[in-house]
Amino acid sequence: MRGVRFTALLGVVLLAGVTLLFVTGLLSYAAYNPDLAPVNDKTPGKGRLGFYLFPWPTDPHWLYRLTQGLHVTLGVALVPVLLAKLWSVVPKLFALPPVRSVGHALERLSLLLLVGGALFEFVTGLLDIQLEYIFPGSFYPLHFYGAWVFFAAFVAHVGLRLPQALRALRERRRNGSFDPGPEPSTGAGEDGLASPDPAAPTVSRRGALGAVGAGSLVLLATTAGQSIDPLRSTALLAPHGGRDPGSGPNGFQINKTAEARGIRPADTGEAWRLTVSGPAGNIAMSREDLLGLALYSAALPIACVEGWSTSDQWWRGVRLRDLAALAGFERDRPPAVLVESLQRTGAFRSAALRDNQVRDPRSLLALEVNGETLSPDHGYPARIIVPAAPGVLNTKWVSRLTFGELT
């Protein structure tokens, strides 16, 4: 059962899967625009690890929904592949002698980073999407720097082992059969994966691969629906699957409720004012004032870093670039904006949006959703909604917009 072919096949699947996880993870990091303003940057010590950062686009409007949905759903579905891969190389862990040479010692140390890193990334990711924040510190630096440590070991491992894996798979093809053929005699001894004295087989290699695949499928089937509205009821074990928290126009998924963020009715009642700041000074506006401005509609999703998302909701409100004009900027050349919320806690109670995001005509300070006034949990009296932006940048319960100044 165990053997170089089994390991090779799982390894090739992980090579593709982990690469996609790494790339979508880096994209998610870029989507926060961490280089725009200190408030957006949860990893200020990143050094050159943010070398690739670029202004996150607003098109297509479902971009973050796709990349982050892929990141989380694929990560969940790869759990059995990772576990099977680790199982298949367990004999190596206890290989004797434990260290043959300096090179071998280095490689084993590298494998500790590889295995520790992979498990660290999967565990922190799985805990974070379940809102179980028990890891030692903030999720962002742990998952981001951990990913780079893991990836460093991953690249070395691929460099050292990919030729061997491809050889094992080619051999399979040449033999024309995959199952239940014995391990190639050369490979078995040299790799030490296949048991020299195997117990009577109870499952074929194809059967074991089938079980791993079934594991991925079951996880996929109970997770994917949290990012696809018509299938939400099938995502039975996913944090935002099963059902919506409410019904009607405001019934869709909520990241943080008003109560959880300490929003009191007194803060959002008649006395609430939005302050718009810029070269024109500080302008205080009531909700009535805002409803008196030109209102526009945009169909945009909520897409969370935790991987879940909603389909497009129909938002209605004031264009951010119109508010920039009120603040004293040219309408077609608006600057970046610092958005501040009434919420008292949370890493993103203030967040910055880049000029390309402010400029987009679909970027709104929304007052209504799906034809109704925003509910408290969706950001009443006013919230930001920007195409393709991660959910945490769509600030709820907005109290202040400062155009041009981000600190």
**Shortest spacing between CB 305 and other proteins, in angstroms:** 14
**Shortest spacing between CB 205 and other proteins, in angstroms:** 13
305-328 per-residue burial string, b: 16 or more CB within 10 A, e: under 16? bbbbbbeebebbbbbbbbbbbbbe
Q: Note whether 113 and 157 are within 8 A (CB).
A: no
| 23 binds other proteins per the rule CB under 8 A | no
| 116 binds other proteins per the rule CB under 8 A | yes
Part of the chain binding other proteins (CB under 8 A), chosen from 1-9, 94-102, 347-355, 388-396: 94-102
Report how far residue 49's alpha carbon sits from residue 81's, in angstroms, rounded to the nearest whole number: 28
Nearer to other proteins (CB atom), residue 185 or residue 202: 202
**Shortest spacing between CB 199 and other proteins, in angstroms:** 8
Name residues contacting other proteins, limited to 61-90 (CB under 8 A): 76, 79-80, 83, 86-87, 90
Report how far residue 377's alpha carbon sits from residue 125's, in angstroms, rounded to the nearest whole number: 25
Q: What share of the chain is helix, strand, coil (3-state, %, to 5)?
A: 45, 10, 40
| 200 binds other proteins per the rule CB under 8 A | yes
Report how far residue 261's alpha carbon sits from residue 256's, in angstroms, rounded to the nearest whole number: 7
CB burial of residue 246 (10 Å; 0-12, 13-18, 19+): middle
How many residues bind other proteins, per CB under 8 A?
A: 81
- Of the candidate residues 15, 53, 119, 162, the single one contacting other proteins (CB under 8 A): 119
| 156 binds other proteins per the rule CB under 8 A | yes
**Shortest spacing between CB 292 and other proteins, in angstroms:** 32
Give the H/E segment covering residue 368: strand 364-369
251-267 per-residue burial string, b: 16 or more CB within 10 A, e: under 16? ebbbbbebeebebeeeb
Nearer to other proteins (CB atom), residue 138 or residue 186: 138
Report how far residue 34's alpha carbon sits from residue 15's, in angstroms, rounded to the nearest whole number: 28
**Shortest spacing between CB 276 and other proteins, in angstroms:** 30
Phi, psi of 124 (to 5 degrees): -65, -40
| 292 binds other proteins per the rule CB under 8 A | no
| 52 binds other proteins per the rule CB under 8 A | no
Name residues contacting other proteins, limited to 364-383 (CB under 8 A): 377
**Shortest spacing between CB 352 and other proteins, in angstroms:** 22
**Shortest spacing between CB 71 and other proteins, in angstroms:** 15
| 316 binds other proteins per the rule CB under 8 A | no
Select from 258, 240, 376, 247 the least CA-distant residue to 307: 240
| 264 binds other proteins per the rule CB under 8 A | no
Tokens of 360: 């987009």
Q: Note whether 229 and 311 are within 8 A (CB).
A: yes
| 291 binds other proteins per the rule CB under 8 A | no
- Of the candidate residues 15, 20, 49, 169, the single one contacting other proteins (CB under 8 A): 49
| 231 binds other proteins per the rule CB under 8 A | no
- Of the candidate residues 20, 66, 149, 283, the single one contacting other proteins (CB under 8 A): 149
| 284 binds other proteins per the rule CB under 8 A | no
In single-letter form, the type of residue at position 231 comes to L
Tokens of 385: 């909604």
Q: Note whether 222 and 240 are within 8 A (CB).
A: no
Eight-class DSSP state of 280: T
- Of the candidate residues 31, 74, 168, 219, the single one contacting other proteins (CB under 8 A): 219
| 307 binds other proteins per the rule CB under 8 A | no
Name residues contacting other proteins, limited to 318-347 (CB under 8 A): none
